[in-house]
Structures are given as C-alpha cells and as structure tokens.
Amino acid sequence: MPKLLELEDLRVSFHTYAGEAQALRGVNLTLDAGDTLAIVGESGCGKTVTAQSVMRLYPKGAADYKGGSIRYKGEDLLTLSERQMRRIRGREISMVFQDPMTSLNPTVPVGKQIMEGVLKNGSRESKRVTRRDARLRALELLEGVGIADPETRMGQYPHNLSGGMRQRVMIAIAMSCSPDLLIADEPTTALDVTVQAQILELMKSLQSRGNTSIIVITHNMGVVANIARKVAVMYGGVVVERGTVEDIFFRPRHPYAWGLLRSVFRLNKPKDEPLTPIDGTPPELIDPLPGCPFAERCAYTMRVCASGMPPEFAWGEARACRCWLYGPGCPVIPAEWEEYSHA
C-alpha cells in the first residue's frame, strides 16, 4: 500500500515558565492509504501532540518544531505556509475531537454548522458549492452518520442532541469534504459503552465506503482492538513499539506494552487473575533524564538503558521496538517472552 503519512524523528517542544517541555522526542510512524492506525498510551505520552502537530494546529510561537518531518503524500507539511496548510486542513485531513460540546458552536443549529464546513471546503470535484447543494450535502451527511429524521435535526442546537448524536454530528462535519485522512482524538471517551460501539462501527463503515485512512488516538485498549489494523504505542514522547494489532496484543515486545496489557481485562486470562497497574509515574518532559523514558518503571532496566535513548530495533518495515532488550548481545531474557510466545 502507498504511504499516506510518514513521521520521521519528529521533535516538538513547548516553552513553559518551568522550562522547555519536550513533548515529542523523535516520533517515527507511518500510515498506509486506506489503513487504520491507533496511537495508544497513557495521558501525557504525546498522542494528542502528535495529532495536532500533523494538523499544524499550534499557533505560531506556541510550539517549537525542533526537527524531523511530517510527510503527507510525500510532501513535508512542516515546510508549507499557513495558507497552504489551510487548504489541507478540513479539505484533505479532518479531525474529530474528544468533546463535541466544546467543539460545536452552541448558538448555531447543527445543520448550519455542517453546511458551513461544506461551503468553506467545497467539494473535492469542484470548488463551487451553492447553499442549496450544501444543504443537500448536510442532509446526506446526517443520514450517513445514522441520525434519523435529518430534516428536523438540521434545525436543532447541540444541546438538543444526546452525546452520541453530537459526536455523530462532529464526524459528519469531519467527513463533509471526504477527507483522505481522519484523525479522531479519543472520539468515544465521553460516551457510554453502547454508544462507543456505535461510533466505532460508524467510523469503520465510513472508512469502507470511501477510502479514508484513520488515526485513532486512545488510551482504551478495547477501542484499539475494535478499530485498528496497526498500532503505535507511545511513551514519554516517543513511539516505543509499533506493529499490527495482532503483534501488539499477542506478541508485544516492549516492557511498557507488557505493562499496558497486564493492566486491562483480557478474555484469555483466568477471571480470578488480578489486574496489575504499572507502578510509578510518567517521566518528566522538562529536562528529561537521558536514556530510555521507561527506565524508572521498568523491571528489566540495565546499565545501558540510562546511557541513551534506545534506537528502533526493526523486524521488517511495520514492526519496531525501542528497547535495549533487543540490542545485540543483550544478556536478559524476560519472562514475558515465554508468556507471549504461547499466547
């Protein structure tokens, strides 16, 4: 499959009163056209910063792109002007945020908000869209995201809709330009479990109807298993492991991925086996210690782990892990290798 998006050694910092917060410290990941990638990890690991950096959503001066590249269809987005980025945002890359209540305008009917997206971005075939066309497209989009009686819903305000319906409206707005890439940042976090499943099904069906690639940002391994084909596990501002969803669930290699899986319920585990949280706290972003960001919480820390950031050890193009356990001549054989080799 051709590559749609490639992040290579992406480094992004924020300047705070306490000093430079190194939010991304060399992120590598790729997304094939038509594929679905989940970025998973605990709060503060850099998932949302990665997504917002791709969209270049940080206002000038707020974020400092320290290095690396974000190649979209072969073009480095970091070299584009703000005007060129505006053409890509919304028209080619769309984003769905976690909380639709803060993303939708509470004073404007939802139909009008969808129409505004259609009128602003035009259609992919022709840029001229009349108000009548935009209204028809808005009705079609509301129907497409499973909202019954779209004629009535068009005139309603966000507060008239349930949380699930508001998220569907957000997805309708994001899909209004038939984007090549949809980035969904924790799209189901604020929803109850049945609505979560409906939203994930909706995203999957929209993907199969068009050829939209999807990046889902989540801390929920259930969402990952439901929607993703590829997974990038982030920790401390880097992707510590990437592979297919089967690789990450059944053949994980990074100690942080082992910890994540031990901390969630799995059907293939005895039901009386307790869940084990990962002890400790995420690493400091300001003046982070040299070496592996997981070293302070890892059961396998070696002297080399404090010496420098582990490089990516790769097995083919799509499978890689940043951990010294996979370095040449590593003397440690973790117990989890045995456990997961039989999973």
Q: Residue 132 corresponds to which tokens in the numbers above?
A: 């009548």
CB of 253 to ligand SF4, least distance (A): 9
Distance in Å, CB of 299 to ligand SF4, minimum: 8
Binding of ligand SF4 by 255 (CB under 6 A)? yes
Is 125 or 279 the residue whose CB approaches ligand SF4 more closely? 279
Size of the site for ligand SF4 (CB under 6 A): 13
Determine, following the binding rule CB under 6 A, whether residue 172 of this chain makes contact with ligand SF4.
Answer: no
Nearer to ligand SF4, 39 or 325 (CB): 325
d(CA 54, CA 71): 9
Considering only residues 299 to 338 of the shown chain, the ones binding ligand SF4 according to CB under 6 A are 300-302, 305, 310, 323-325
User: Residue 49 Cβ, how far from ligand SF4 at the closest point, in Å?
Assistant: 21
CB of 20 to ligand SF4, least distance (A): 23
Shortest distance (Å) from residue 302 CB to ligand SF4: 6
Per-residue contact flags (x/-) with ligand SF4 for residues 279 to 298, judged by CB under 6 A: -------------x-xx--x
Residues that bind ligand SF4 (CB under 6 A): 255, 292, 294-295, 298, 300-302, 305, 310, 323-325
